[in-house]
Amino acid sequence: MNPHVSAFRRAAVFACKSQKFPFPRFMGERGLEQILIDADQGSWSATVLATQVLAGCCVTDGRFNNFQVGVLSVMRFLSETYGTVDLSDVQMFRDLLSLLNSGGQAAQIQKWMDTHYGS
């Protein structure tokens, strides 16, 4: 199994517990299970996996759907993978929210990932 898939799954379980959101709903209704399967089969990098979760689980009809568990999972996963980001960098998060609200295109989110986490 791709180590990023295992790490993301752990981050998602943590986020679900902390927000009292059922993990099976994240896997099924929100589409995380298929994303993790695709990531494992495709040997996706950490940033590609995080991008696909944001684009696939946190955006509906081109706008952020307020699925905070998804965003929290992504940020925990990225922090565990690349080290903690400077949480005082408010602009970084504003930029991400803007991307999610302006269509949530995976290519745009990937550019944001590459800027802040490398490729």
* CA distance linking residue 47 with residue 54, whole number of Å: 11
pLDDT value at 89 more than 80: no
Domain boundaries, the chain: 3-117
Average of per-residue pLDDT across 18-24: 98
- The whole-chain average pLDDT of the chain stands at 93
pLDDT at 84: 73
**Could you tell me which residues come within 8 angstroms of residue 70 by beta carbon, excluding any fewer than 6 positions away?**
15, 26, 30, 53, 54, 57, 58
Summarize pLDDT for 68-80 with one digit per residue, the tens. Answer: 999 999 999 999 9
Q: Which two tokens stand for residue 102?
A: 């302006």
Question: Residue 86: which pLDDT band, with cuts at 50, 70 and 90?
Answer: low
N residues, the chain: 119
Reported as a pLDDT band with limits 50, 70 and 90, residue 87 is: low
